[in-house]
Amino acid sequence: MSADRHVPSSGLPDPVSGRLLDNRYLVGARIARGGMASVYEATDTRLDRTVAVKVMHAGLGDDEEFAARFVREARAAARLSHPHVVSVFDQGNDDGIVFLAMELVQGHTLRDTIAKESPMPPARALALLEPVLSALASAHRAGLVHRDVKPENVLIADDGRVKVADFGLAKAVSADTQHTATKGVLIGTVSYLAPELVVEGRADARADVYAAGVVLYELLTGSKPHEGESPIQVAYKHVHHDVPPPSALVPDLPPYVDALVARATARDPGQRPADASVLLHQVHRVAHALADGVPDDAELTADLALLAPAREGDTSPDMWDDAEMAALMEPAAAVREDTATYPAAKPPPMAPPDSASTAAPTREPGPPRPRRPRSQRPRRSRRGPLLLVLALLLTTAGGGAAYWLGWARYTSTPGVIGLAQAAAEDKLDSAGLAVEYADEAYSETVPAGMVIATDPTAGSRILQDGTVTLTVSLGKERYDVPKLKGLTEDQAQDALRGVKLAYDETIERWSETVPAGTVLRSVPAVGTTLRPGAAVDLVVSKGRRPIKVGSWVGKDIDDVRRALERRGLEAEVTSEVYDDAVPDGHVISQEPRSGTLFRGDAVSFVVSKGPELVEVPNVTASGYESAVDKLEALGFEVKVVRGSTYIGLGFVYSMDPGAGAMIPRGSTVTLNLV
């Protein structure tokens, strides 16, 4: 529903505003009021979204048969899933308050657009009508008839989206069977009612087509096709007069536009499009002709033109008897323009061709009554006047007693809603009434200390010395988010329920200091003031964050230390050993070899000191064999060279590397012999 149709306050608190319907919908201000229901902006506390809540007026909602029918039609409407239909979310009955929860459309109605733009170009009018027909076509395919198509039920969002509201509502009220709340009358908006709805009280999808055609006429001309001094006169014209061509008010409209309006608003339902999908197809044809700039299309106009009615057995509305419509003109059949209510007349039976059968039946003369002779007058009885006087006395006494018992002892309950507690007591005391108090109640609209309800209600009959029970407002019901930090998740949820707030979801976060499963904070934060039922999220610890160790074997220990520090881990060198294969300062092994640790934990490393260095001994002038033995004992490889200076003595003449050099064990020492 649209949120822009504000209803001015009457100065008295609305009994529905501030209530929590179905323990879910917190009702706010009233934004619209119609003939059957009022619409309120509300908060769905379960899903934390703003919705529109349509509340049936008490006269309708109190009837069980209507409530059951309303539930069925609401379910049917909820099955409609269409981009141009206002979505129905939920339906309920909260202590006699029958309501619908539906999509809240921020914007305005088509009525506002008509007031600002009409008369508008036909292309613009069809562009506005097209989404309406698309929505109606979807409903007709689902077997649902709207029955109350009018500009007020077409919502236009601020972003330009067009949506149709109140599907199923009108059908629930004016169902095929009579309804006690409406006392067998038809409910609809008189300016858009199809003739068969006026006369028969029954309709199908073609009634929606008729109403859409009237809306199109209004878009094109800025006025309604039929006007009258009273809604009944308007209804009469719908039955007996065709909708005039819009070109009568707006010249230069193409003839096929006139033909489209005439076809949609034909008084004979058989000449109208069968449903909204057929009319939508015709609208597309006309829109294409307008887009092409065609001033006249004889073929299109002929296709849309009405057929001549048959002469024999013609059952068009023109042949309905004026006497039936005259019944609608009785003063008792009062109607309203916005939501007209009037008796649904049935069409009169068709007269057979034989004119003789149409003659009024005549009473056959009976035998003549014997006349009393003038001289024979009956004797008057004296008991008659006595009985008459006695009856008058008894009637007077009974009437006085009835007046005293049924009326004179009673007074009307004064209205004190909206008054301060002391002022309400003074007003009731002045009326001779005693005061009692019910439990205080919260209210979204009435300040604390003011009266929000009375029992009996204002204007109700009450004994002159009776007692009026007052309910005083506690103000707006609000609760602060409690301190939840340090609690377990279950404890925090219980704490939220204890202050009428709702748990929504858990958000997990790592914590180096708080154990897993413990609440870190809430969103909103502690101390935030919220409405009852508002959702609160819990931020819960997942415990310490695990850190991947990784493999560092063969890496320079200095690089490893810096990398681990960035991760929050420490590098601990437990030993340094010689390793012929691993360069000095590089990792030989680590512990743990893989897996995860937590921040501040250490990884142990064995670091290479490189190959072990051995001093080369001086074996110069030593014998060949002793020199080799000495070098090999130290782990060196020995290479013997007999050069050009070799004379066979077998002594070491020189060595490479020279004596005193520090070389890795296993290195080769070359001996030159002489």
Question: Among the options 44, 148, 166, 258, which is catalytic?
Answer: 148
Amino acid at 208: D
Cβ neighbours of residue 285 closer than 8 Å, sequence gap 6 or more: 300, 303
SS (H, E, C) 600-622: CCEEEEEEEEECCEEECCCCCCC
Find the DSSP H helices in 79-225: 110-117, 122-141, 169-173, 195-199, 205-221
Pairing of strands 602-610, 652-656: unpaired
| Token pair for 445 | 């609209």
Closest CA to 548 of 568, 522, 528, 577: 568
| Token pair for 273 | 């499009």
Are 140 and 208 contacting, i.e. CB atoms less than 8 angstroms apart?
yes
The Cα-based distances of 248 to 37, 113, 221, 306, 644 in angstroms read 37, 22, 9, 18, 135
The Cα-based distances of 496 to 44, 488, 524, 525 in angstroms read 18, 12, 12, 13
Amino acid at 70: F
The residue with tokens 């202050």 is 499
* Beta bridge partner(s), residue 412: 461
For the chain, how big is the Rg over CA atoms in Å? 49
Cβ neighbours of residue 393 closer than 8 Å, sequence gap 6 or more: none
Can you tell me the distance from the alpha carbon of 530 to that of 496, in angstroms, rounded to the nearest whole number? Answer: 11
| Token pair for 298 | 């004889």
Can you tell me the distance from the alpha carbon of 462 to that of 467, in angstroms, rounded to the nearest whole number? Answer: 8
* Beta bridge partner(s), residue 668: 637
Can you tell me the distance from the alpha carbon of 119 to that of 460, in angstroms, rounded to the nearest whole number? Answer: 49
Helix (H) or strand (E) holding 238: helix 231-240
429 is an active site residue: no
Can you tell me the distance from the alpha carbon of 387 to that of 178, in angstroms, rounded to the nearest whole number? Answer: 46
Pairing of strands 88-94, 97-102: antiparallel
3-state helix, strand, coil in the chain (%, to 5): 30, 25, 45
Three-state DSSP class for 493?
A: helix
Can you tell me the distance from the alpha carbon of 139 to that of 275, in angstroms, rounded to the nearest whole number? Answer: 10
Helix (H) or strand (E) holding 103: none
Closest CA to 246 of 207, 269, 218: 218
Can you tell me the distance from the alpha carbon of 281 to that of 265, in angstroms, rounded to the nearest whole number? Answer: 16
Burial class (CB in 10 A: 0-12, 13-18, 19+), 372: exposed
Q: Please give the positions annotated as active site.
A: 148
